């Protein structure tokens, strides 16, 4: 079995930062464009269009940053627990402008921070499996410490993106990790940290992603 690639902490931080900048640069750029139109344009209709652009882009940037704070950031001290209701809220904001309709089924519960981070990173991966839109069903099953995740996507031309399974496993092609693939690689890091195993299966126009505990039950020993 190939050992996972280990990144230098500074390289990991730099690649995650690049990913975050990529996610927010588009709505931030749209805000700047809208403000420039407001400064120069006198036509009421154009000004209203620019205001609407600024308003929608600001909401999109805010939603992406709130999602990223939980998916990639500290979001509390070490060992923190996060409410699944908060995770649902930021996920709905993140998916609001996507082509996919989302459903969320989960108990009212607190989960360890890193498990929530894994769930949100799996949402990003799941959304990439239906580039033409469709549906995304997110289910959190069981109770701690035996919580598991199931994300199911359905859509035309559904696919598992190239190399994403290798990246989650920490074994990218040619052992190379860059800003374009850091997100699924990072998801794999979090999965191993939480002791969860991630699997992806495609059947026609349906992709299923599952994550469940791989650690042995303490009562039965290692």
Structure tokens at 142: 């069981």
Number of neighbouring beta carbons within 10 Å of residue 62 = 13
Positions in the chain whose pLDDT score sits under 50 = 216-222
Q: What's the CA gap between 85 and 110, in Å, rounded?
A: 9
Q: Is the C-alpha dihedral spanning 142, 139, 62, 183 positive or negative?
A: positive
The pLDDT score that the predictor gives to residue 72 is 93
Domain boundaries, the chain: 9-220
The pLDDT score that the predictor gives to residue 43 is 84
Q: Is residue 178 a contact partner of residue 13, using CB atoms and an 8 Å limit?
A: no
Q: Is the C-alpha dihedral spanning 167, 173, 175, 181 positive or negative?
A: negative
pTM: 0.90
CATH architecture of the region 9-220: 2-Layer Sandwich (3.30)
The pLDDT score that the predictor gives to residue 218 is 41
């Amino acid at each position: 079995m190939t050992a996972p690639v280990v990144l230098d902490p500074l390289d990991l931080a730099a690649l995650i930062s690049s990913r975050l900048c990529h996610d927010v640069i588009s709505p931030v750029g749209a805000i700047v464009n809208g403000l420039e139109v407001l400064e120069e344009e006198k036509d009421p209709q154009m000004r209203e269009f620019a205001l609407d652009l600024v308003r929608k882009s600001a909401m999109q940037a805010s939603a992406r940053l709130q999602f990223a704070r939980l998916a990639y950031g500290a979001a509390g001290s070490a060992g923190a627990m996060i409410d699944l209701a908060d995770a649902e809220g930021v996920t709905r904001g993140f998916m609001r402008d996507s082509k996919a309709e989302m459903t969320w089924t989960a108990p009212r519960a607190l989960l360890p921070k890193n498990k929530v981070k894994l769930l949100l990173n799996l949402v990003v991966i799941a959304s990439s499996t239906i580039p033409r839109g469709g549906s995304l069903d997110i289910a959190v099953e069981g109770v701690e410490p035996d919580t598991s995740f199931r994300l199911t996507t359905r859509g035309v031309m559904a696919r598992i993106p190239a190399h994403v399974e290798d990246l989650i496993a920490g074994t990218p092609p040619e052992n190379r990790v860059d800003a374009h693939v850091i997100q699924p690689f990072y998801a794999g890091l979090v999965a191993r940290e939480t002791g969860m195993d991630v699997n992806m299966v495609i059947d026609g126009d349906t992709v299923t992603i599952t994550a469940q505990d791989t650690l042995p039950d303490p009562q039965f020993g290692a």
